[in-house]
Structure 1
Amino acid sequence: MSAIKSSSRKKKTTTESGTPKTELKRMTVEEDDFDFDADQLKQRAPKKQRSTFEDDFDADLSSDIKGLMSALHQIKEKAQKDGQKKKEETISSVATEIRSKFDELKSKVEKERQNFAKALSKSSREVCKENPHLKQTTCKNFSTLSQLNIKTPLSLRTQCENLLKNETSKFQAVYENFCKDKNSHLQALKDIITKYEEEKERLFMRYEQHRKKEKSMISEHEKACATKISELEESLKKKKQDDKTFSILRKTLGSFLDNASDEDFPPDD
């Protein structure tokens, strides 16, 4: 700071040394500047020492700060390297754990898939044995589904979805045919029931007519039988009366006939 002030003073003196007025002014200024008392000199001396000490302190402080900054920078780089290394170790350990879990899951899925394929193959064989009327294509589709050997779940899902779509379309066609056949059979059954009801009504009417006819015939036959019975009774009564009359006549005639006896005329029943 003092060096800067002295240089500014020198510039002032050099710039103002042109005319007598400026020279006189310069002389008065210099006298004013150097006219100090003892206290001012005492105060001026420590200021210069202080400024040099401050400059030295600033230089040392700046060098210390630079060293500290470089040390901090090195510590930061080392910390970053250590952190990066720890991150890499952590990531590698997590990746290894995930890979092991994925391998376990893959083996488990493969095992379950094989068990499912075996169970499906067994069930398809049992279904085909129990239901021999099933089409051969259905059993073939069951066996194809059970014999799938797929390494990735995505391809397994795709093939299963395709097979399911095919089977669904076939089932839909069979269901539509079944609905058509069901409707036709239901209509035929309704027609049969309607015809049966009509035939039942017709037969019931014929039965009623036949029953009435039988009743009338039976009543007529009863009347005829009653008439014949009454006529027979009348004829029997008349015959009995005739027999009595004949017996009386015979007895009367026998009394007049001497040679006649009762043995010649057998008694009436």
Structure 2
Amino acid sequence: MKRKTSGLDSDVSESIEQSIYANINRLKSMVEENRKFNKKNEETISSLMSQIKSMVDELKSEHEKNSQSLVKLLQQSFGECENSGNATAKFHELNEKCCEDKASHQQAHLQALNDIISKFEEEKERLFMQYEQIRKKEKSMISAIADKVAKLDKSLKIQKEIEEEYDILLQALCSCL
């Protein structure tokens, strides 16, 4: 025997199905948004790493140029010192100056590199915190959707019980008539 359902039962079923589909679509959208965010984070980190590598390469190049200039200066100075009677004193003076300049350049390069790394770490931490916030939001939304689905499931069970009781009453009424 086919169950007869009223238009109201059909509307409730459609409404429940639409609600479930809407929640599933929203969940799919959230997952896709999270994937896009993760991809954006990867691109940002990759870009930062590329910038850091470029800066380090630039610093190395500048250091090599400075070193070559210092060697040329030393050679010129050494040549001048050989021509003068006080070559050893001038050589030691130039050598000390070169060592100081080299230490100064190295310190400046290290400071620049530390600044870059510090900025990278700050950006990484900011992105990680953003990611954690999105994960918490996703979990709470998934939990809320799960609660709604559980309530809808319970509502469907109650509706089925009502329909079964309705069918039994209808059969009883038909048999009495």
TM-score w.r.t. the length of structure 1 is 0.31
Structure whose CA Rg is larger: 1
More relative contact order in 1 or in 2 (CA 8 Å, sep 6+)?
2
TM-score w.r.t. the length of structure 2 is 0.44
